[in-house]
Amino acid sequence: HARHREINVDFQPGDVLVILGTTLVIWAVVPEWVEVPGLWTVPHSTPGLTLVGGASNAGGLFLDWARRRLAPLDEAATTSLDPSRVPVWSPYVRGERTPLHDPDRRAGVVGLDVSNGPAEVWRGAQEASGFVVRQHLELAGLLGAGSGSAGGGGPGPPVVGRRGGNRGPGGG
């Protein structure tokens, strides 16, 4: 039998929930119903609140794919890299859901050179996942909001810590 546990959290407008599982899920809590092109809008369980966000293939699906190709990988090495040496990923190995709604979109890497090692490429993959979170928050008008994270898509703080404050595809 599946066990269900309800999580009671006092969400407030401006709060953000990021769930990093196979799918990366981003929900921003807003005080009123808004339609944001590319994102989903759904009622919150608390009267008067709404959720804006969506689901992305840039979560564990992408990160696990990248990690398998970079094995063996020294996770600790990703924390002391020169950011200018980190290649920029477009993390869409199987199309993208929100906000692009493009099943044919594919991944790519910019700035990769022969001197990059697995640590730089992995850091770029982590930052690409973070870019997607940032993109959703920018579209929802909530960049800079506080967030909480949950899920099993990463080994711990390095992945969670990268979301939001990063260069992302096309960024600098």
For 100-127, write each residue's pLDDT tens digit: 999 999 999 999 999 999 999 999 999 9
Judged by phi (left if over 0) then psi (alpha if -120 to 50, else beta), residue 164 lies in left
Predicted confidence band of residue 168 (pLDDT cuts 50, 70, 90): very low
Predicted TM-score of the model (pTM) = 0.79
Contact (CB, 8 A) for 49 and 11? yes
Q: If you average pLDDT over every residue of the chain, what do you get? A: 83
Predicted confidence band of residue 77 (pLDDT cuts 50, 70, 90): confident
84 C-beta neighbours (distance < 10 Å), count: 8
Q: Which residue has the tokens 């990248």?
A: 66
Q: How confident is the model at residue 2, as a pLDDT?
A: 58
Predicted confidence band of residue 78 (pLDDT cuts 50, 70, 90): confident
What count of Cα atoms within 13 Å lies in the side-chain half-sphere of residue 43?
Answer: 4
The residue type of 28 is A
Catalogue the E-assigned strands of the chain. 16-20, 24-30, 40-43, 50-56, 88-90, 108-110, 147-150
Distances (CA, A) of 158 to 8, 10, 54, 106: 26, 27, 23, 25
Q: How confident is the model at residue 32, as a pLDDT?
A: 92
| Residue 63 clears pLDDT 80, i.e. is over it | yes
